A and B are shown apart, each in its own frame.
Chain A
Amino acid sequence: RKEVEQDPGPFNVPEGATVAFNCTYSNSASQSFFWYRQDCRKEPKLLMSVYSSGNEDGRFTAQLNRASQYISLLIRDSKLSDSATYLCVVNSRGTGSQGNLIFGKGTKLSVKP
């Protein structure tokens, strides 16, 4: 049973394209959800938290569907610098964010000129 599942990709898109990533999680008690970005051989870096109401940060939009246990990330007007692996992450605890994080394997994005 995979706790956090993502399409591994790779997604190869041209600059300016819109790309969407999906993720499902198995623990229905999970309360905190995140997208992290990881460049090759670097540490995961927080991209954004994901809230039930959906949230947007510039070109990035994250959505959460608790009923389906489904998380999404939309990147609009993609840039070359968006090329990275995008990690779907769920906090193990039902409440609070101090619990350990559970990572998906990541979806690799490659943006081409």
Chain B
Amino acid sequence: EPEVTQTPSHQVTQMGQEVILRCVPISNHLYFYWYRQILGQKVEFLVSFYNNEISEKSEIFDDQFSVERPDGSNFTLKIRSTKLEDSAMYFCAIFLRDRSTDTQYFGPGTRLTVL
């Protein structure tokens, strides 16, 4: 069973528009992460979120990006003014201990296409 779902599965937007990507964990988790993967490239870390605060962010996560948990369950990534180069798969991940392995489990992703 998936630990986390993401909506929408595909978002198409015009350059300069705001988009909100949503991550819905199945059960309570404390650690959340956003990653992105530009087509043909490696998965890159954007931001980690712990106890309702950003705990770490990468150089990619500039002022155009923000994260929040508006209702204590959904975890959102907002891009204020999208650029063509924001087109990518965006993955939400949660930290989980499973059979004595601590690691991160990824949602199915949102494909963002900026035109």
Contacts and interface: CB of A to CB of B under 8 A. Distances in A.
Interface in A84-105: 87, 92, 96-105
Given A32-B103, A43-B91, A49-B101, A100 B43 contact: no
A43 B108 contact: yes
The DSSP consensus for interface residues of chain A is loop
Contact of B95 (A34, A87, A98, A105): A98
Contacts of A104: 42
For chain B, which range describes its interface: under 10, 10 to 19, 20 to 34, or 35 or more residues? 20 to 34
Contacts, number: 56
A98 B31 contact: yes
Interface in B10-48: 31, 33, 35, 41-45, 48
Interface of B: 31, 33, 35, 41-45, 48, 50, 56, 58, 89, 91, 93, 95, 101-109, 111
Interface of A: 32, 34, 41-46, 49, 87, 92, 96-106
